Chains A and B, each alone.
Chain A
Amino acid sequence: MKTIILNIWRNKEFFFIPLLVFAVSCQKIVSIDLNAAAPHIVIEGNLTDQLDTASVVISKTGTYFVSSVNVPPVSHALVTITDDLGNSDTLKEIRSGNYQSATLKGVTGRRYTLKVVSESEVYSAISYMPKKVTIDSLYVKPVHERDGDIGYDIYVLFKDPQESGNYYRIRPRVNSLPPDSIQGARTFLYNDKLANGNEITERISIRIRSGERRTVNIGDTITVDLLSVDQATYEFYKTLQAIRSSDRSPTSLSPANPNTNLSNGSLGYFAAYSVDSKKIILQ
C-alpha cells in the first residue's frame, strides 16, 4: 500500500520562512479608496448525488468595504437544471434569490446543464458529476501551533480510481453547522496528477483558537465530506483560493476573478458533484 501526504507544497507560508529570517516584517491597516463597480450577477449552483437539496443562489456584487448587507439577492429568475438524458427540473425560489428543488437528485456519470434567465439575460453552465470516491478512514493528530493555539490535523484516507483526471474538494464541517463555516479554514483541494490510482492520505488542518475566536472544541464531531468534482469546479476553487486573503501569498500575480464555467460573464460556478462523508470526534 502506498500513502502520500501532498498538501505541503501548497502551504505558501513555508516560502516566507526566508523572509522571516532576513527581516522583521510589519503590518498595518491602511485605508484605500476603491471604485464601486456596477453590480454584477453571481450564480452559485450546487447539485449533489444526495437527496439534499439542489440549490442555486443568485445575487449581485456589492460594494467593497461595506458589510454584507448590500449584496442584493436576485429574485424572479427562471432556473432549470437538465441532465444529458433530457430530464429537466425547474427550481423554485424559496427565499429571495435562493432557488431549490427538493426532488432533484444527481446521478454520477451524467452531465448537467444549468440555465438561468434573469432580467432578460441567459446564463448557462455544464457540469459533469464524477463517480463517487469513498473515504476509507479518518484519523486526527493534535498539533501545537507556534502562536500557542492548538490545531488538529485531520488525515483523510481514500483510494484514487485508476483512470487519471480525478479532482477533489475536501470540506470539513463541525457538529451541525453548515459547511464552510469554520473560520479561517482553507479550501482543501486535491488532484491525482502526481499520484494517480494510489492510496491517498490528504491532510487538512483545523485550528482550535482560544478565547472568543474558538472554532472547534474537544468533543466536537467533525464531518469530512469528500467531494468528487469535475475539472472546471476544481479550477474554480483553485483560482478562488488564489484570491482569498487567507490563502493568498503577497507575491502572487495580478489577481483575477475565478475561472468560471458559467456563460455570459456571470461570476460564480455551477458544480455537480458526488459526496462521501465520514465523521470523527475530536478527543
Chain B
Amino acid sequence: MKINKLGFLLLILSMIIPQRHSVAADKFTISGIIKNKENGEALIGAIISTKGVKPIGAVSNAYGFYSLTLLEGTYIVQAQFLGYKTQMDTILVDRNQKMNIELTPEPIKVREVVITGERTNINVSSTEMSASKLQIHDLQSIPVLLGEKDILKTIQLLPGIKSAGEGNTGFYARGGRTDQNLIVLDEAPVYNSSHALGFLSVFNSDAIKDVTVITGGIPAEYGGRLSSVLDIKTDDGNMKEFGMKGGIGLISSRLTVQGPIVKDEGSFIVSMRRTYADVFLKLSSDTTINKTSIYFYDLNMKANYALGEKDRVFLSGYFGRDNFNYPNVFGFNWGNATATARWNHIYGDKFFANTSFIYSNYEYTNTLGTGTSQFTINSGIQDINGKMDFEYFMNSENTLLFGLNSIYHTFIPGTLTSASSSPSNAQSVEHKYALENAAYLSHEIEVGTGLKINYGLRLAAFTQLGPGTAYTYDVNGDVIDSTVHSSGKNIKTFTSLEPRISANISVDEESSIKVSFTRTAQFLHLLSNSTTTNPSDLWVPSSNNVKPQYADQIALGYFRNFEENEFETSVELYYKNMQNIIDYKNGADLQLNPNVESLLSYGKGWSYGVEFLVKKRFGQFTGWVGYTWSKTEEQFDKINNGNPFPARQDRTHDISIVAMYDYDSQWKFSATWVYYTGNAVTFPSGNYFIDGRLVPYYTERNGYRMPAYHRLDLSATYSFSEKSNLNFSIYNAYDRWNPYSIAFRQNINDPTKTEAVQTTIFPIIPSLTYNFNF
C-alpha cells in the first residue's frame, strides 16, 4: 500500500521532470552560488533579480544556489542580501551560464541612516507566512540571561512563539506543546535541545549561520511534528583564511576555529563551548559540594569540500553533554550527538539535489548509589536517517521541490545495569523500533501577476517494527494479551496524507494577503513528569496502543511594508485543531515501565489567535514590536469532568518589544521588554485532612492564572576594535519578581493555616561577556 503510493508519487515526478527539456528556445538560465566575499560562506536567502519595470528574481537556497531563467537579452542583474552591499552587473543572456556571485558585507557605518543592501519586499511577495528568519545580527545584540546568546530564547520574542517558562529554552508555537516543535540542526533532528535542565539551549550561537522558524504554512519538506519547524544551519567555515573567535562569559566560554582546507574549495569549522560553574564549586569548603561536578559542553564541527563545479560534500557533527554528579549520591549525564554527511549535486542549470545521511542520538545515564551498590539507568533514542531533496527551478514562474526521507528509529526506554554485587536487579524495558518514511512534492507557481501559490503534499508512513512484544490492554490498563513479534516484522503502520497549501494575493507592490492550510502528523511523543525539559523525559513511538497526533491549521495574513520596505508590518489570524494529544494517568511511573503505553489517554486541543508585528529593519535603530492574542484549550474525557480547560500553554496576551540601537562604531545598545498573561494553573479550591495533615482539594484543571509576567532586559556592547568587544547586560532590569511557581504550604508556626508562597528564580541578574575575533 505504502510502496504503491510512493511509486505513484515517483511516477508523477517523472512526468513532471522531463519538462526541463522543453524550455523555449529563447530562454536561458544563469545559475551559481551566492557567497560572502570575505569568507566564502554561502548566503542563504539572498535575492538575485533583474532591474526593470517587471523584475524577475530568484532566491538562493540553503546552499547558496540560485537559478534564474530569463528570455534572451541584456539585463542589469542585482544581488542583494541584508547587511551586504548590493551588487549590480550588466549581463548578456544568450546561453545558459554559470555566475557565482560574491557579496561584500557592509559594516554598519556611524550615523548612516540608510543602509543599503536588501530592501526588497520579499516578506510581502513570497508565499511564506507565519515564518521568521532570524538575523545573526539580532541574535548577537539582544540581551539574554547570563549573557549567553541563545537562539531558542531569541525566537521566543517573535509573535506566535511563547516561552515555556522563566529562562526556559522550551517554547510553545501557536498553542502547541514543547514536543511539537521539529528542531533540526543541519538536517538532524535534535531530541533534547536544552542544557542545564532547560535554562540554556544546546545551540552555540557562534557556529550558527541561519535560523528559520515556521509556525504556520509549514512547507511540505518538513514533517513529523505538529506545530512548528526550527531549522538551524551552521556555518561552513571560512573559505579564504584562518580565523579564531570566541568569548568569555559569566558561566561559559566559547572558542571557534575556522579556515580553508583548500582556498575557495573547502573549509572547516570547529566550535566549542563549556561552562565552568563547577570550578567555583571546587572552592567550597564543603566536601560534598567541592566534589560535585556540574557542567556541560558543546562541540560543533563541520567541513566541506567542492568536488568540481557541480558537486560539494559536507560533513558535520554535533556533540554535547551535560554532566551533573553529586558525589556518593548520584550522577546524571545526558547529551545529543548528531552527524550529517551531505552531497550537493547540480544537474544542469536548474536542478539542485542534496542527499544526506544523518545519525542522531540522544541518551541519558543516571548513576545511583555508591561503591558496590551502584547501578545505572540508561535511556535514549537513536535515529539513522536518509534524505534526498530536489529543487527544480523550472523557470521564473515555477519551482518544484520534492524528496524522500526515511528514518529508522531505535527507542531505548530504559535499561538498568548493575554490578553483580549490586542489590538492584539488572533489567531492561524492551527496545522499540520504527521506520518513518515520507515523500513530498511541492510546486510554487506564479499565476499571472498578483497570485502566487505554493501547493504541496507530504505522504508520511510510520511503521512500528519488530522485534518486540505488542501488548493489548483493557480499560483499566491491565495486560490482557501480548504478541511477540520477530525482527523486522511490521507490527502497526500509520499513514498520513498531509496537504500543505499557501497562497499570496498581491494587493500592490507593498502589500499582500496570504492564506495557508497545513496538515501535520506526529508519530513520536514526549512524556514528561515535569513542566520543564528534563533529561529523563521519555520519547515514545506510535504503536498498536499509541495513536499519532494530527493537526490542521489555517492562517490568514495581511502584510504591508512602509517607507520603501524599511518597515514591515503584518497581521495574521490562525486557527489550529489538534487531535490525539496525549495526557497520562495521575502519578504515572514513566521510568523502567514496560507498560507506559497503558497509562496514556488521548484528547483534543484547539488554538486560535491573532498576531501583530511591526518591524523596523534598517538604520541605526532597528527592532520590532510583536503582540499576540490567543486562546488554547484542551479536552480529555477523564480530566475536568470531560469539559474543555485552558491548556498550560494558553496565554491570552503576549507582547515583545525589541529595540537595538547602534550609537556609533563603538557603542551598541539594546533592550527587550516582554509581557505575557500568567500560565493557566491548577490551584486548590478547598482542603481536607488525610492522616492528620491538610491536603489540598482540586476541582477544575487550570482554573487559575499565575500573575502576569513582565521583564525588561538591557544590554550595552562596547567594541574596542573590530576584533573584540565587551558586553554588559542586565536581565530583569527592574527586578520584577516574576512567579516561577506558587506553592501552598502549612504555616510553620500554625500548621492549621495554609499560605501561598511564590518562588522567583531570576531576580535582577547582571552579566559581563568578552568576545573576540581574530
What string of 1s and 0s marks CB contacts (under 8 Å) between A56-77 and chain B?
0001111111011101000000
Q: Is A14 in contact with B695, judged by CB distance below 8 angstroms?
A: no
Q: Is A37 in contact with B368, judged by CB distance below 8 angstroms?
A: no
Query: Which residues does chain B contribute within 8 Å of A253, judged by CB atoms?
Result: 528-531
Q: Is A17 in contact with B741, judged by CB distance below 8 angstroms?
A: no
Q: Which one, A3-11, A130-138, A275-283, is touching chain B?
A: A3-11
Query: Which residues does chain A contribute within 8 Å of B427, judged by CB atoms?
Result: 194
Q: Does B696 sit at the interface, judged by CB under 8 A?
A: yes
Q: Is B197 in contact with A15, judged by CB distance below 8 angstroms?
A: yes
Q: Does A239 sit at the interface, judged by CB under 8 A?
A: yes
Q: Does A31 sit at the interface, judged by CB under 8 A?
A: yes
What string of 1s and 0s marks CB contacts (under 8 Å) between B288-330 and chain A?
0000101000000000000000000000000000001010011
Mark A residues whose CB is within 8 Å of B: 2-6, 8-9, 14-15, 17-19, 21-32, 34-37, 39-40, 42, 44, 59-65, 67-69, 71, 146, 178-181, 183, 193-200, 213, 235, 238-240, 242-246, 248-259, 267-269
Q: Which one of B691, B693, B699, B756 has the greatest number of beta carbons of chain A within 10 Å? A: B691
A187 to chain B, nearest CB (A): 9
CA distance A52 to B699 in the complex (A): 35
Known A4-B369, A22-B196, A28-B757: A37·B742 in contact at CB below 8 Å: no
Q: Is A9 in contact with B592, judged by CB distance below 8 angstroms?
A: no
Q: Is B699 in contact with A37, judged by CB distance below 8 angstroms?
A: yes
25 A-B interface contacts by CB (under 8 A): A4-B422, A8-B329, A14-B326, A18-B196, A21-B281, A26-B737, A27-B759, A32-B742, A37-B686, A40-B697, A60-B688, A62-B688, A67-B753, A183-B751, A194-B416, A240-B695, A246-B745, A248-B743, A251-B530, A251-B531, A253-B529, A254-B648, A254-B702, A267-B697, A268-B688
Q: Is B531 in contact with A196, judged by CB distance below 8 angstroms?
A: no
Q: Does B740 sit at the interface, judged by CB under 8 A?
A: yes
Q: Is A24 in contact with B745, judged by CB distance below 8 angstroms?
A: no
Select which of A59, A213, A248, A251 is within 8 A of B688 by beta carbon. A59
- Closest 4 A-B residue pairs measured CB to CB? A250-B741, A2-B423, A4-B423, A245-B745
Closest residue on chain A to residue B700 by CB atoms: A35
A61 to chain B, nearest CB (A): 4
Q: Is B688 in contact with A71, judged by CB distance below 8 angstroms?
A: yes
Q: Is A213 in contact with B748, judged by CB distance below 8 angstroms?
A: yes
Q: Is B698 in contact with A34, judged by CB distance below 8 angstroms?
A: no
CA distance A25 to B761 in the complex (A): 4
Select which of B425, B694, B761 is within 8 A of A194 by beta carbon. B425
Known A195-B425, A246-B745: A26·B759 in contact at CB below 8 Å: yes
Q: Is A24 in contact with B763, judged by CB distance below 8 angstroms?
A: yes
Q: Does B421 sit at the interface, judged by CB under 8 A?
A: yes
Q: Which one of A71, A179, A196, A255 has the greatest number of beta carbons of chain B within 10 Å? A: A255
Q: Does B644 sit at the interface, judged by CB under 8 A?
A: no
Q: Which of B141-187 contact A (CB under 8 A)?
A: 146, 167
| 16 more A-B residue pairs beyond the given contacts A40-B688, A71-B688, A250-B743, with a C-beta to C-beta distance below 8 A | A2-B423, A9-B330, A21-B281, A26-B760, A37-B686, A40-B686, A69-B752, A71-B687, A194-B427, A240-B695, A243-B698, A244-B693, A245-B745, A252-B531, A253-B529, A267-B688
Q: Does B692 sit at the interface, judged by CB under 8 A?
A: yes
Interface residues of B, count at CB 8 A: 87
Query: Which residues does chain A contribute within 8 Å of B765, judged by CB atoms?
Result: 23
Q: Is B746 in contact with A245, judged by CB distance below 8 angstroms?
A: yes
Query: Which residues does chain A contribute within 8 Å of B531, judged by CB atoms?
Result: 251-253
Query: Which residues does chain A contribute within 8 Å of B701, judged by CB atoms?
Result: 254, 256
CA distance A244 to B685 in the complex (A): 15
B681 to chain A, nearest CB (A): 7
A141 to chain B, nearest CB (A): 13
CA distance A239 to B171 in the complex (A): 28
Q: Which one of A24, A32, A254 has the greatest number of beta carbons of chain B within 10 Å? A: A254
B245 to chain A, nearest CB (A): 25
Q: Does B490 sit at the interface, judged by CB under 8 A?
A: no
Q: Which of B743-774 contact A (CB under 8 A)?
A: 743-746, 748, 750-763, 765
Select which of B324, B330, B689 is within 8 A of A8 by beta carbon. B330
Known A35-B699, A253-B529, A255-B698: A14·B686 in contact at CB below 8 Å: no
B544 to chain A, nearest CB (A): 24
Closest residue on chain A to residue B763 by CB atoms: A26
Closest residue on chain B to residue A183 by CB atoms: B751
CA distance A213 to B684 in the complex (A): 27
Query: Which residues does chain B contribute within 8 Å of A196, judged by CB atoms?
Result: 425
CA distance A15 to B691 in the complex (A): 28
B732 to chain A, nearest CB (A): 11
Q: Is B586 in contact with A239, judged by CB distance below 8 angstroms?
A: yes
Q: Does B251 sit at the interface, judged by CB under 8 A?
A: yes
Query: Which residues does chain A contribute within 8 Å of B756, judged by CB atoms?
Result: 29-32
Q: Which of B576-603 contact A (CB under 8 A)?
A: 585-587, 589, 592
Q: Is A64 in contact with B686, judged by CB distance below 8 angstroms?
A: yes
Query: Which residues does chain A contribute within 8 Å of B648, judged by CB atoms?
Result: 254
Q: Does B424 sit at the interface, judged by CB under 8 A?
A: yes
Query: Which residues does chain A contribute within 8 Å of B251, judged by CB atoms?
Result: 22
Closest residue on chain A to residue B758 by CB atoms: A30
Known A37-B697, A37-B699, A255-B696: A195·B587 in contact at CB below 8 Å: no
A210 to chain B, nearest CB (A): 13
Q: Is A61 in contact with B423, judged by CB distance below 8 angstroms?
A: no
Closest residue on chain B to residue A235 by CB atoms: B587
A142 to chain B, nearest CB (A): 16
Query: Which residues does chain A contribute within 8 Å of B425, judged by CB atoms?
Result: 194-198
Select which of B329, B587, B686, B758 is within 8 A of A62 by beta carbon. B686
Query: Which residues does chain B contribute within 8 Å of A199, judged by CB atoms?
Result: 423
B566 to chain A, nearest CB (A): 39
CA distance A179 to B690 in the complex (A): 12
Select which of B422, B587, B763 is within 8 A of A238 by beta carbon. B587
Q: Is B691 in contact with A25, judged by CB distance below 8 angstroms?
A: no
Q: Is A34 in contact with B692, judged by CB distance below 8 angstroms?
A: no
Query: Which residues does chain A contribute within 8 Å of B424, judged by CB atoms?
Result: 4, 6, 194-195, 198
CA distance A221 to B495 in the complex (A): 65
Known A36-B686, A255-B698: A5·B743 in contact at CB below 8 Å: no
Q: Does B683 sit at the interface, judged by CB under 8 A?
A: yes
Closest residue on chain B to residue A22 by CB atoms: B199
Known A180-B692, A256-B586: A5·B369 in contact at CB below 8 Å: yes
Q: Is A22 in contact with B742, judged by CB distance below 8 angstroms?
A: no
Q: Does B532 sit at the interface, judged by CB under 8 A?
A: yes
Known A253-B529, A256-B698: A5·B373 in contact at CB below 8 Å: yes
A123 to chain B, nearest CB (A): 15
What string of 1s and 0s marks CB contacts (under 8 Å) between B362-405 and chain A?
00001011000101000000000000000000000000000000
Closest residue on chain A to residue B288 by CB atoms: A146
Q: Does B277 sit at the interface, judged by CB under 8 A?
A: yes
Q: Is A42 in contact with B689, judged by CB distance below 8 angstroms?
A: yes
Q: Does B703 sit at the interface, judged by CB under 8 A?
A: yes
Closest residue on chain B to residue A198 by CB atoms: B423
Q: Is A17 in contact with B586, judged by CB distance below 8 angstroms?
A: no
Q: Does B682 sit at the interface, judged by CB under 8 A?
A: yes
Q: Is A27 in contact with B760, judged by CB distance below 8 angstroms?
A: yes
Query: Which residues does chain A contribute within 8 Å of B745, judged by CB atoms?
Result: 245-246
Q: Is B685 in contact with A35, judged by CB distance below 8 angstroms?
A: yes
Closest residue on chain B to residue A178 by CB atoms: B692
Query: Which residues does chain A contribute within 8 Å of B681, judged by CB atoms?
Result: 254
Query: Which residues does chain A contribute within 8 Å of B589, judged by CB atoms?
Result: 193
Q: Is A64 in contact with B692, judged by CB distance below 8 angstroms?
A: no
CA distance A191 to B128 in the complex (A): 54
CA distance A255 to B735 in the complex (A): 29
Q: Is A21 in contact with B294, judged by CB distance below 8 angstroms?
A: yes
Known A3-B373, A25-B740, A243-B695: A34·B685 in contact at CB below 8 Å: yes
Select which of A34, A44, A65, A239 is within 8 A of B691 by beta carbon. A44
Query: Which residues does chain B contribute within 8 Å of A26, judged by CB atoms?
Result: 737, 759-760, 763
CA distance A25 to B199 in the complex (A): 14
Query: Which residues does chain B contribute within 8 Å of A3, judged by CB atoms?
Result: 373, 423
Known A4-B373, A21-B277, A251-B532: A244·B695 in contact at CB below 8 Å: yes
Query: Which residues does chain B contribute within 8 Å of A71, judged by CB atoms?
Result: 687-689
